[in-house]
């Protein structure tokens, strides 16, 4: 499996928890023996302008966060392109599912998901997309940008019951006929994190159609 990562993500680019030291090192050290770690280029300004106005880009630039956020969006684009042929994963930060078109919060600056899906669609790789957001927190940025698009389905899985949560995901995946399944992958629903709901094995579950 190809995992897209850049050494610049080791940088502590701001004081929020998503940028804390040691987080990326722990992940890379664990997965490196099992995956093919690949580098990539940052998203271009034109890539970002497909979902964000220039005023938003300039706001992030003034914060000194444009380069690292554009790099994360570039990783999402590359993972999406590869994902059309084989499973792939973007190990990137800052995250993006709380970034709306002209606003952002929750440690997100550019909407990596929206940028990458628009790139796939504009190049003719897809006509439709399904987004599974299994982060503990509702992906309002994804919904604000893509929720009214007729070519996008979004599931922000929610349940206080582990089995009901898994059943909800399975049901939605079995119904979709989208060209690509994209995932906003926050793992804070893990039993050892805030959500306290899902086991490690749950994240490895295959929801094959019957």
CA dihedral sign of residues 201, 32, 87, 154: positive
In the chain, at which residue ranges do the beta strands (DSSP E only) sit?
2-4, 36-38, 88-90, 129-133, 152-156, 180-184
End-to-end CA distance of the chain: 25
Query: Pick the catalytic residue: 98, 137, 171, 206?
Result: 98
- SS3 for 130? strand
How many angstroms separate the CA atoms of 164 and 97, rounded? 23
Active site residue 98: yes
Q: List C-alpha distances in Å: 97 to 31, 36, 133, 140.
A: 24, 25, 9, 7
CA dihedral sign of residues 186, 140, 92, 108: negative
24-5-179-112 Cα dihedral, nearest 10 degrees: 70
Contact criterion met (CB below 8 Å) for 66 and 104? no
How many angstroms separate the CA atoms of 74 and 6, rounded? 10
The catalytic site residues sit at 98
């Amino acid at each position: 499996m190809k995992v897209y990562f850049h050494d610049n993500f080791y940088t502590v680019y701001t004081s929020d928890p998503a940028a804390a030291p040691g987080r990326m090192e722990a992940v890379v050290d664990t997965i490196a023996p099992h995956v093919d770690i690949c580098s990539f280029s940052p998203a271009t300004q034109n890539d970002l302008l497909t979902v964000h106005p220039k005023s938003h880009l300039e706001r992030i630039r003034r914060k000194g966060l444009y380069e690292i956020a554009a790099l994360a969006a570039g990783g999402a684009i590359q993972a999406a392109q590869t994902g059309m042929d084989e499973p792939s994963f973007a190990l990137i930060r800052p995250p993006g599912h709380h970034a709306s078109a002209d606003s952002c919060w929750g440690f997100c600056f550019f909407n990596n998901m929206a940028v990458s899906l628009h790139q796939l669609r504009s190049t003719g790789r897809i006509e439709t997309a399904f987004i599974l957001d299994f982060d503990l927190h509702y992906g309002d940025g994804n919904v604000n940008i893509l929720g009214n698009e007729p070519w996008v389905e979004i599931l922000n899985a929610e349940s206080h019951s582990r089995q009901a949560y898994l059943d909800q995901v399975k049901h939605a995946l079995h119904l979709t006929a989208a060209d690509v399944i994209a995932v906003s992958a926050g793992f804070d629903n893990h039993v050892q994190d805030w959500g306290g709901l899902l086991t490690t094995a749950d994240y490895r579950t295959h929801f094959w159609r019957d």
